[in-house]
Amino acid sequence: GIRWKNLSVAMKKKSKKQQQHSDRVLLLHPSTHHVENGSICGILGPSGAGKSTLLAALSSTTLKSSRLQVSGAVWMDEEVTGSEESGRSKSSKAGDKAMDKAHLSTRNGEVAFLHQSDAFFSMLT
């Protein structure tokens, strides 16, 4: 399964006067949840509720920006190697450990999802 703890996304606002970052706007309020292996999880909500932002934060595909801040922890309930967890035992479960921050890799196929709107041209498909 996949777990996340206090996962949130914030964007720093720019001050018009000083052109510096001041306050932050929460794009995704902190959330904690667990989805069991083999289960199906639906994410429902109105437009602008943060569904896509949650999926992007879970899969580490948020846009890279100096103004965007993703915080919290995301991990899989499976064995992790010692190098991934600062030399901790290979036989431990990731969900049983205290972790400051861990991101899953979309390149290794650990996380995948379909976007709401595809990016294909209808005339080419």
Give pLDDT tens digits for 3-39.
999 999 999 887 666 555 558 899 999 999 999 988 8
- Give the Å distances, CA to CA, from 75 to 11, 17, 62: 23, 41, 16
Residue 88 counted as domain residue: yes
Whether pTM exceeds 0.85: no
Both tokens assigned to 72:
């919290």
CB half-sphere exposure, 109, CA atoms < 13 A: 0
What does the pLDDT read at residue 38? 84
Residue 72 counted as domain residue: yes
Its domain, for residue 89, covers 2-114
Question: pLDDT-derived band of residue 99, with 50, 70 and 90 as boundaries?
Answer: very low
Of the listed ranges 5-19, 81-95, 110-124, the one predicted with least confidence: 81-95
Residue 29 counted as domain residue: yes
Domain count, the chain: 1
Residue 120 counted as domain residue: no
Higher pLDDT, 118 or 92: 118
Residue 125 counted as domain residue: no
Residue 122 counted as domain residue: no
Residue 123 counted as domain residue: no
